[in-house]
Amino acid sequence: MSEFWLISAPGDQENLQALERMNTVTSKSNLSYNTKFSIPDFKVGTLDSLVGLSDELGKLDTFAESLIKRMAQSVVEVMEDAKGKVPENLLANGVDLTSFVTHFEWDMAKYPAKQPLVSVVDTLAKQLAQIETDLKSRTAAYNTLKTNLENLEKKSMGNLFTRTLSDIVSKEDFVLDSEYLITLLVIVPKPSYTQWQKTYESLSDMVVPRSTKLIAEDNEGGLFTVTLFRKVIEDFKTKAKENKFTVREFYYDEKEIKREREEMSRLLSDKKQQYQTSCVALKKGSSTFPDHKVKVTPLGTPDRPAAGQTDRERESEGEGEGPLLRWLKVNFSEAFIAWIHLKALRVFVESVLRCVGQMPPRRPAGGRGRLDCRLPLRPPSVGLLPRAPCSGPPGSPEPPLSAAAPLSWALHPLHARPGAGVTLSATGHS
């Protein structure tokens, strides 16, 4: 991860001497790579307004950083199996974040420097607030869809005792619409297959002979059908339990099974079309059953789902992007750009405050020229810097606040990785 510092310093007419001095100091120990960071002249206003802006900018800075991190995390979640491509999707104005910061230029069209600082800050605040509002609504819809899909998938996981059977059984396995007969599903341990075949007809009266068949199995046992008269159900269950056979409660409802399958297909389709690049597709004849492989015996029913295969076999859909990912990419860029503009404003405001908030700044005769202010450099995370005197030629009159010098350049460490996360420390020095 690259760390960036924004540092303001007293400069000459072209703001080059300060940069040259910093390059000389840092190059000896290979400490950093330094570039200019141009900030325009703003309408400063009163000292009180600057103090208020300083507090507001600090809060906005924290808010913007939090928003950007949440958006980046949303991109990671949405891209799922394509997480390796996340950095190339987190860009600012079409370039990687490092390049954007080191070649930053103030956007005069979006944030006119001729406007009062309060207006510029208000524009940035409204932009970020709108992005956050949209992010909340869009991610809430995505999370709801994802949760519903996961809940359906959970029903298809586990062993024969716990998982749904709707994707294993078929209509042909049951005697339906009979006033007297009913088909039960019985889970039999694998070592007891032979015992089951020999004894199931005698577990109770009125069991239909030769009515059992194995329709699915996992690592632990098999799922058998058996048909009997309704009035002996309880007696059959009791005898089956005594022999360590488990009757699985299940009622075949064709409409409910169809509804469940359609719901799964719809959710997968919505997720695929709306949100993902690496999409998932529901394939006919498959279901999610990762832990316990279920092999279905051939019964001559071509439409029978083969339980135990994956319900969601992931297939790449090329470079297609859903609306959520497109929105995240565009608005991550907008939020990041706004954040760097906020950093620039913080540097400007804090620099002016620290220079003029001490002794009256001194300028050459006539009030023209640059403020001569010298402060040690340190990140703002440790608090405001102690004020240092601003000096000019003796007898120089106090300049108006709006005459503060523009800030000039930026410092950041070497070996910045394109597309990596960026930590900016906006430091106001005068």
Per-residue pLDDT at 117 exceeds 50: yes
Position 417 in a domain = yes
Q: In the chain, what percentage of residues exceed pLDDT 70?
A: 69
CA 319 distance to own-chain centroid: 19
What total of structural domains would you count in the chain?
2
Q: Which domain holds residue 58?
A: 2-144+328-427
Of 298 and 130, the one with more pLDDT: 130
Of 4 and 158, the one with more pLDDT: 4
Q: Using CA atoms, how far apart are residues 360 and 358, in angstroms rounded to an integer?
A: 6
Q: Are residues 26 and 138 in the same domain?
A: yes
Position 293 in a domain = no
Over the stretch 1-57, which tens digit does the pLDDT of each residue have?
A: 678 888 887 665 556 777 788 888 888 888 888 888 888 888 887 888 888 999 999
Over the stretch 402-420, which tens digit does the pLDDT of each residue have?
A: 333 333 333 333 333 333 3
Confidence of residue 296 (pLDDT cuts 50, 70, 90): very low
Over the stretch 213-244, which tens digit does the pLDDT of each residue have?
A: 999 998 899 999 999 999 999 999 999 999 99
> Of 126, 89, 118, 124, nearest to 106 (Cα)?
124
**Among candidate residues 253, 278, 294, the one where a domain is terminated:** 253
> Of 283, 248, 329, nearest to 78 (Cα)?
329
Dihedral pair phi/psi, residue 225, rounded to 5°: -100, 155
Give the model's pLDDT for residue 12: 59
**Among candidate residues 253, 277, 301, the one where a domain is terminated:** 253
Position 114 in a domain = yes
* Locus of tokens 């600057």: 50
Give the model's pLDDT for residue 1: 60
Confidence of residue 194 (pLDDT cuts 50, 70, 90): very high
The answer to whether residues 135 and 78 touch, using CB atoms and an 8 Å cutoff, is no
* Locus of tokens 């001490």: 358
**CATH number of the CATH domain containing 239:** 3.30.70.100
Position 270 in a domain = no
Q: Are residues 82 and 195 in the same domain?
A: no
| 143-147, 191-195, 249-253, 357-361: least confidently modelled range | 357-361
Position 311 in a domain = no
Q: Are residues 119 and 67 in the same domain?
A: yes
Angle of helix 117-154 relative to helix 323-356, nearest 10 degrees, comes to: 150
Q: In the chain, what percentage of residues exceed pLDDT 90?
A: 38
Position 74 in a domain = yes
Confidence of residue 287 (pLDDT cuts 50, 70, 90): very low
Q: Are residues 61 and 188 in the same domain?
A: no
The answer to whether residues 304 and 296 touch, using CB atoms and an 8 Å cutoff, is yes
Triad 285, 145, 149: Cα angle to 5°: 30
The answer to whether residues 111 and 123 touch, using CB atoms and an 8 Å cutoff, is yes
Per-residue pLDDT at 153 exceeds 90: no
Tokens describing residue 21: 């001095």
| 102-116, 301-315, 352-366: least confidently modelled range | 301-315
Over the stretch 239-276, which tens digit does the pLDDT of each residue have?
A: 999 999 999 998 888 888 888 778 777 777 776 665 55
Q: Are residues 10 and 127 in the same domain?
A: yes
The answer to whether residues 142 and 328 touch, using CB atoms and an 8 Å cutoff, is no
Q: Are residues 18 and 94 in the same domain?
A: yes
> Of 156, 232, 218, nearest to 188 (Cα)?
218
The answer to whether residues 425 and 8 touch, using CB atoms and an 8 Å cutoff, is no
Q: Using CA atoms, how far apart are residues 189 and 29, in angstroms rounded to an integer?
A: 72
Q: Are residues 114 and 177 in the same domain?
A: no
**Beta strands 33-36 and 409-412: pairing type?**
antiparallel
**Among candidate residues 231, 253, 275, the one where a domain is terminated:** 253
Give the model's pLDDT for residue 14: 58
**CATH number of the CATH domain containing 18:** 1.20.1460.10
Per-residue pLDDT at 312 exceeds 60: no
The answer to whether residues 41 and 352 touch, using CB atoms and an 8 Å cutoff, is no
Position 286 in a domain = no
